[in-house]
Amino acid sequence: MLAWPVIKRILEYCRDDDAKEFEFRFSINTNASLMTPVIAAALKEYRVEVASSLDGLRDGNDRVRQTKFGSGTFSQIVRGFEILAEAEYPIGGFAVTITEKNFCELDESIIDWASAHGMKKVRIDIDVVGMVKIPVEDVVEKILRIRRYAALHSIDVPGFWARPAENLNESTLEDHIAFCGAVRGNSICIVNNQTKGVRSG
């Protein structure tokens, strides 16, 4: 969202008459902390799929996601979700990354929170680099316990840890299972890093 003027210009360009021969589908990853009513309205207008992250409830999230001044971001992220809902463009779920900092705080209450806010998906992934101090068995037990609880509330809990079994039964060319959407041949990433460049993947 820091580069919102650039994002907005891209959306406008893709809707230009010269681009009508193409069919675009937009998505954006954001923690929603910089969401405004104007941005939410534009995301709705262009039907941009919004993917967001919330690494637990207040205590868990704020151990992981902090501002440059060290304060928590839970309130800002949730406010971003609320702005999207007020624009009648609510997100359907969010992603959680388990780390050593928020592992102890994460439990079934995250599912209760999602359910209370009308969400149907809580993606849970693991920081495989920064989880060396927590036994794998403990991580697996917690994820599966939360997933079973979520199923009782009709909430889906996917994650990269579930893909090996899913890939045995589904084609990655037909479903969004692979980690990288480029496996389908229709994903592109535009990077704004002071130099002009486009990379696929």
196 confidence band (pLDDT: 50, 70, 90): very low
Q: Pick 183 or 34 by higher pLDDT.
A: 34
- For every residue of 33-77, which 3-state class applies, written as one string? CCCCHHHHHHHHHCCCEEECECCCCHHHHHHHCECCCCCECHHHH
pLDDT tens per residue, range 12-65: 988 887 667 888 889 999 989 999 999 999 999 999 999 999 999 999 999 999
On whether the 26-169 domain is CATH 1.10.357.10, my answer is no
The larger pLDDT score, comparing residue 162 to residue 35, is at 35
| Domain parsing of the chain, residue ranges | 26-169, 176-201
Q: Say what the pLDDT of residue 24 is.
A: 86
Q: What is the pLDDT of residue 170?
A: 55
Pairing between β-strand 27-29 and β-strand 198-200 as defined by DSSP bridges: unpaired
